[in-house]
Amino acid sequence: MATIYDVSLLAGVSLATVSRVVNNTGKVSDKTRQKVHDAMAQLDYRPNTIAQSLASNRSNSVGVLVSQLDGPFYGPLMREIESVLRSANKHVIIAAGHSDAAQEKEAVEFLLSRGCDALIVDAEIVTNDYLRELCQGKTPVVLINRHVEGIADRCVHLDNLKGGLLASRHVLEFGHSRIAYISGPLFKLDARERLQGHKQALAEHGLTLDEALFFEGDFREEGGYEGMATLLDSGEPFSAVVCANDQMASGAIALCLERGLRVPEEISFVGFDDIPFPRYISPKLTTVSNPIQDMGHMAANWVLKEVYGQSDIEFNHKFEPQLVVRESVQRPQS
């Protein structure tokens, strides 16, 4: 089996130069780099990653914990993290928590056992105390989609309360007063914060949440579909629906169309997240931006800066939502 010494001899360069090429560190001329790559190809040389890890105390891998592995929200998040880290010659190991505290902890332990240099953690259920304790360990941790007091410098998150406020203000400003709300599962912090923003917007207009016009969904299309059916079957009048994410809004609109209701002529809709496909349905969905790809980019940047010493890295902790106005809201019929 070829060794780094064989590559050095064949390429006619020092061991240090081969090491810089293999690890993509330091300055090496294009001509010298090509000589090393040619020698590696001729010898069928593969770097021994275990030996590299032992020598450098680095595995060049980053653990990523996400809630789910499917859907239009987590895919872009994982893709952006992987892209940023891959450009720095680092690799990701992904595990899922499935919105369950025991599975989230099990996934964290698995990633730690793999010798990851750092963890990017999107944990929905484990407690703040658990996360604070995790951040005191030897492995650096950055949190995404969550703000935890005491470790705010390790959190990349969205102002979900403001986002909920923007969504509901929009329909209120169009003159709607009978507004239904389909929330995400309230054991999730972002769902609770978006609902809090909705309530605050109602209070600004002298209104309160009508429990008859509230449905707790699941952040999936099926939850929006079921929620809309429940709301319509209740017989309570309403002219607008605010949904805590775009997937539920899509399911709710589908149910309306099945029942022959016109959107937005008879019922207006606002979503949340600004995922791609609601931009192309009819009517195009008014929503609130949730720049999950940008947050993934920033979490990866935190790792590159704090763990791998790339000092020229941009980093931002808190992201502000923006209202994205399209076609799904109009004034209520008189």
Using one digit for the tens of pLDDT, what is the confidence trace for 96-136?
Answer: 999 899 999 999 999 999 889 999 999 999 999 999 999 99
333: pLDDT strictly greater than 60: yes
Q: What is the per-residue pLDDT for 52?
A: 52
Q: Hey, what's the torsion of the CAs at 58, 108, 156, 116, to 10 degrees? A: 10
Q: What is the per-residue pLDDT for 186?
A: 95
Summarize pLDDT for 240-282 with one digit per residue, the tens: 999 999 999 999 999 999 999 999 999 999 999 999 888 888 8
Percent of the chain with pLDDT over 70: 96
Q: Give the chain's mean pLDDT.
A: 92
55: pLDDT strictly greater than 70: no
| 311 token code pair | 């000092």
71 Ramachandran zone, left/alpha/beta (phi>0; psi -120 to 50): left
Local confidence band at 211 (pLDDT 50, 70, 90 cut-offs): very high
Distance from the Cα of residue 324 to its chain's centroid: 19
Mean per-residue pLDDT, 31-59: 76
Q: Are the CB atoms for 41 and 260 separated by under 8 Å? A: no
Q: What secondary structure does DSSP assign to 292-305, as a single string?
A: HHHHHHHHHHHHHH
More confident residue, 216 or 334: 216
Q: What is the per-residue pLDDT for 51?
A: 52
Backbone angles phi, psi at 176, to 5 degrees: -80, 140
3-state helix, strand, coil in the chain (%, to 5): 45, 15, 40
Mean per-residue pLDDT, 279-308: 93
Q: What is the per-residue pLDDT for 135?
A: 95
Summarize pLDDT for 64-95 with one digit per residue, the tens: 999 988 878 888 999 999 999 999 989 999 99
* pTM, rounded to two decimals: 0.81
